[in-house]
Amino acid sequence: MSEQKVLVVDDEREIVDAIEIYLRNEGVKVYKAYDGIECMDVLMNEDIQLIIMDIMMPKMDGLRATLKIREEKNIPIILLSAKSEDTDKILGLNMGADDYITKPFNPLELIARVRSQLRRYMDFGNYSDVQEQEEIKCGGLVLNKVTKQISVDGQNIKVTPKEYKILELLMDNPGRVFSIDQIYETVWNEPSYSAENTVAVHIRRIREKIEINPKEPKYLKVVWGIGYKIEKA
């Protein structure tokens, strides 16, 4: 493996150091961070091609960091977790992670997954970050990131800043289901202690503005017991 830049993020420094040794033996240049905030700082300054990140971390956990990274970057993310429940794996993958490894892990398996993700990333020409689209379209629903304007079937509609951010999150990820907590933590940027009513009210208002019949929505769909999504065009 030719030298690639990989960021390892975990609050357990011994694990970070161990992964660094494995990857250096494979010719990988390793950058280290110990929480989600430090991870974002490294990404601002370095051209990282893959992230190995723990889920449970202080300040900003791996799931919230994954959501923030996916707002701008499509680099591969492999999540680590001491938990083995399928729900954690599914949640991480739904939020944009590319792979998932449960601790304790086999170093050879980790290296194989790193190689696979880097190869796929390079083969599909995704070496550079995705250029941000000026417009996102889902059928007749259009969001312009430059003017911050929403339109439906060519008619501009007025939305609040929070409504705009919810639509931007969902439209950036068509077909992906976001839970109420994920929407709240991403849009309001704070823990979701009492998010359900707040998010539900905003979703209802958005539907009243973008749907012909809010009771039978065309665009903003509920996935019962899980969350909300924007239907793929």
- pLDDT tens, 5-56? 999 999 999 999 999 999 998 889 999 999 999 999 999 888 899 999 998 8
Tally: H helices and E strands in the chain = 8, 11
Q: Is 123 a residue whose pLDDT tops 80?
A: no
Cβ atoms < 10 Å from Cβ of 153: 10
Domain count, the chain: 2
In eight-state DSSP terms, residue 178 is: B
3-state helix, strand, coil in the chain (%, to 5): 40, 20, 40
Residues 16 and 118 occupy one common structural domain: yes
Residue 43 belongs to what domain range?
5-123
Going by pLDDT thresholds of 50, 70 and 90, the confidence category of residue 203 is very high
Q: Is residue 34 part of a domain?
A: yes
Residues 13 and 119 occupy one common structural domain: yes
Give the angle subtended at the CA of 8 by the CAs of 129 and 193, to the nearest 5°. Answer: 85
Q: Is 205 a residue whose pLDDT tops 90?
A: yes
Residues 61 and 103 occupy one common structural domain: yes
Q: Is residue 129 part of a domain?
A: no
- Domain boundary (73, 90, 123) is at 123
Residues 103 and 37 occupy one common structural domain: yes
Residues 118 and 161 occupy one common structural domain: no
Q: Is 126 a residue whose pLDDT tops 70?
A: no
Going by pLDDT thresholds of 50, 70 and 90, the confidence category of residue 233 is low
- Domain boundary (123, 143, 159) is at 123
Residue pair 75/49 in contact (Cβ under 8 Å)? The answer is: yes
The answer, yes or no, to whether the previous bond of 104 is cis (omega within 30 of 0) is yes
pLDDT averaged over every residue in the chain: 85
Token digits of residue 175: 């077909």
Confidence (pLDDT) at 1: 45
155-157/220-223 β-pairing? unpaired
- Domain boundary (78, 98, 123) is at 123
Q: Mean pLDDT over residues 156-174, rounded?
A: 90
Q: Is residue 109 part of a domain?
A: yes
Q: Is 224 a residue whose pLDDT tops 80?
A: yes
Which of 129-133's residues contact partners 24+ apart within 8 Å by CB, and which partners?
129/72, 129/73, 129/74, 129/75, 130/72, 130/73, 130/74, 132/72
Going by pLDDT thresholds of 50, 70 and 90, the confidence category of residue 172 is confident
Give the angle subtended at the CA of 136 by the CAs of 73 and 39, to the nearest 5°. Answer: 15
- pLDDT tens, 55-104? 888 888 888 899 888 877 878 899 988 766 567 667 777 777 888 888 88
Q: Mean pLDDT over residues 186-200, rounded?
A: 79
Q: Is 130 a residue whose pLDDT tops 80?
A: no
d(CA 200, CA 114): 39
CATH number at residue 39: 3.40.50.2300
Q: Mean pLDDT over residues 214-223, rounded?
A: 91
d(CA 143, CA 125): 26
Confidence (pLDDT) at 129: 43
Residues 118 and 141 occupy one common structural domain: no
d(CA 208, CA 70): 28
Window from 121-130, 160-169, 198-207 with minimum mean pLDDT: 121-130
